[in-house]
Structure 1
Amino acid sequence: MTSDPPALPVTFRPGRTRAVLYSAAVACFAAITAVALLLERLGPGERLSFVATALLLDAVLVVLARPKVVAEESGVTVVNLVSVRRLEWAEIVRVNLRQGDPWVFLDLSDGTSLPVLGIQPGIARERAVADARALRALVEARSVPGPDPRQA
């Protein structure tokens, strides 16, 4: 069953997960900073170290909220935690989201598989399935038919 592909450009992100991570970052920073200010026995350096620790924790949470997939006319950009990979449409053979997978995987023409953390079924399974179908429809609409590697 192939659905109509969405209009380009389109960005896929785990929206609820991002909201939870950003909310947690704000709450952690506020709580740790409040503790640093409320503890009377702390000196200025110790208070600063509390705030620096809160900022470090927030940086980790922001990195966890970074993943996304951007589909454009020229191809797909996959942004994972610490890497960015640009793919041409022809490089993508298949979009996979199987039962139990933590995120989508792209099967690539070079025989490798690329995890796509920007579409993950964690706390929004229906959204992830819809996004995976939309990306699959885009890949199918823009791929060039070629020989089936399973028949080789």
Structure 2
Amino acid sequence: MSEHPALPALPVTFRPGRTRAVLLTAGAAILVVLTVISLLIPSLSPGERLSFIFTGVLLFGVLMLLSRPKVVADDSGVTVVNIATSRRLAWAEIVRVNLRPGDPWVFLDLSDGTSLPALGIQPGIAKQRAIDDARALRALADARSPQG
């Protein structure tokens, strides 16, 4: 038996599915509740109603932004999409894939000596899934590295 997991078929997208579902569901619920409240309170002016709805839309937007992270691996490299940034890496740039106990997400050690957080693999709600995803990404990086 190999010490590395079987390599996933490319392209593959890693993302915290349960966390994303919770964030988007909560955002939609908040938007609906604030909209219904604004419509049910008869003493509100049109501007106050709009401010309730605007607040719901704003909160939903923030939660959508927090649900954005993912890591997409394909034949030519990896795209790391975090909350507000996106970065494309060639396989040769990735030296190591790290997910140590207590880490909030995977860190990619890069050939330029820096480290890039990859929020698309995070052990928050689904710890075993994050560990499996980190192992799969590590195996892909090892298989495609110039040293491997």
Counterpart CA distance in 2 for 1:25 and 1:132 is 28
The alignment covers a number of residue pairs equal to 146
Give the corresponding residue for 1:139: 141
1:103-131 Cα deviation digits (max 9, x unpaired): 00000000000000000000000100000
Pairing of 1:84-123 with structure 2 (within 5 A)? 84-123=86-125
Counterpart CA distance in 1 for 2:6 and 2:109 is 21
Counterpart CA distance in 1 for 2:5 and 2:36 is 50
TM-score of the pair, normalised by structure 2: 0.97
Structure 1 segments, 4+ long, off by >6 Å, are none
Question: Could you tell me how far 1:90 is from its partner in structure 2?
Answer: 0.1
Counterpart CA distance in 2 for 1:4 and 1:40 is 61
Question: Could you tell me how far 1:95 is from its partner in structure 2?
Answer: 0.2
Structure 2 gap segments, 5+ residues each: none
TM-score of the pair, normalised by structure 1: 0.94
Structure 1 gap segments, 5+ residues each: 147-152
Q: Report sequence identity in percent.
A: 68
Question: Could you tell me how far 1:76 is from its partner in structure 2?
Answer: 0.2
Give the corresponding residue for 1:34: 36
1:6-53 Cα deviation digits (max 9, x unpaired): 110000000000000011011100111111111111011110111011
1:118-152 Cα deviation digits (max 9, x unpaired): 00000000100000000000000000118xxxxxx
The two structures, once aligned, show a CA RMSD in angstroms of: 0.9
1:58-108 Cα deviation digits (max 9, x unpaired): 000000000000000010000000000000000000000000000000000
Counterpart CA distance in 2 for 1:13 and 1:145 is 28
Counterpart CA distance in 2 for 1:25 and 1:95 is 32
